[in-house]
Amino acid sequence: MVKLSVVAPIYNEEENIKLLHESITNAVKEKVESYEIVLVNDGSKDRSALLLDELVQQDPHVRVIHFEKNCGQTAAIYAGLKGSTGELVALIDADLQTDPRDIFKLMPYIPNMDFVNGKRVRRRDTVVKKVSSRVGNGVRNWLTGDQIYDTGCPMKLMKREVADSYYLYEGQHRFLPTLAKINGFKVVEVAVSHQERQHGVSKYGVFNRAFVGLMDAIVIGWLRKRVIRYQIKGH
């Protein structure tokens, strides 16, 4: 088992793949004794698959998972979590709006916490994205009964046992901190940096950020109220 797995879903990010690899490598290579980079190609239609295969040939730290067709962000994240082997697992997006160096802002909170969620306090997004994200987070917290400031932040760090505890359904990547709490783990949020996207275009708009997750939030709230907690009396 390696010390750290860095997992990123990839969908039509040909302009960012080499930069992503360089950014992750430069961030972690001198900071941890062993690491892997797990890149999940979610059925990309551009040159992403070719570029990812080239990385595998060039760098033994890189592992690639290719989907036969586009299955969505939840599936890509889930496959990356389950396909990783790290004692710790970091999640980031491929668009380089979050900085892999911030993994080490989160790491000091381990092992006292099981899951550390990044919190984008100075977002470099359009006003529409900022508003839709704020609305989406507010609605999710209201429906789930949780208090997560930025559940959609791509930067997350978790222990292996948290990653192994997940069984995700479509759309539930938006609720990873809350699901970790439901599974009995300790969660904290930590401020991370945020940058403008330099290449490519966002795959997520106002509708799927703010409203598509409404029914999912209702389900998560229902599950949270029905968590089984018990202690066995000692003999």
Task: Note the pLDDT of residue 128.
Answer: 43
- Structure tokens belonging to residue 39: 């890149």
At residue 131, the pLDDT reads 45
Q: What is the pLDDT along the chain (235 residues), one digit of tens a residue?
A: 899 999 999 999 999 999 999 999 999 999 999 999 999 999 999 999 999 999 999 999 999 999 999 999 999 999 999 999 999 999 999 988 899 999 999 999 998 999 999 998 865 555 445 545 555 555 555 455 566 667 778 999 999 999 999 999 998 898 899 899 989 999 999 999 877 656 555 555 445 555 556 777 777 787 777 878 888 987 5
Predicted TM-score (pTM) of the model is: 0.83
Parallel/antiparallel/unpaired status of strands 35-41 and 4-10 = parallel
Specify the pLDDT at position 225.
78
Cα atoms found within 13 Å of the Cα of residue 182, Cβ hemisphere only: 22
pLDDT at 123 (0 to 100) = 58
User: What pLDDT shows up at residue 26?
Assistant: 97
What is 4-225's CATH superfamily?
Spore Coat Polysaccharide Biosynthesis Protein SpsA; Chain A (3.90.550.10)
Task: Name the nearest CA neighbour of 8 among 29, 24, 27, 22.
Answer: 24
Region of 12 on the Ramachandran plot (φ > 0 left; ψ -120 to 50 alpha; else beta): left
Integer-rounded Cα radius of gyration of the chain = 17
The candidate with the shortest Cα–Cα distance to 196, out of 116, 120, 106, is 120
Return the pLDDT at 147.
62
Interatomic CA distance for residues 197 and 7, integer angstroms: 19
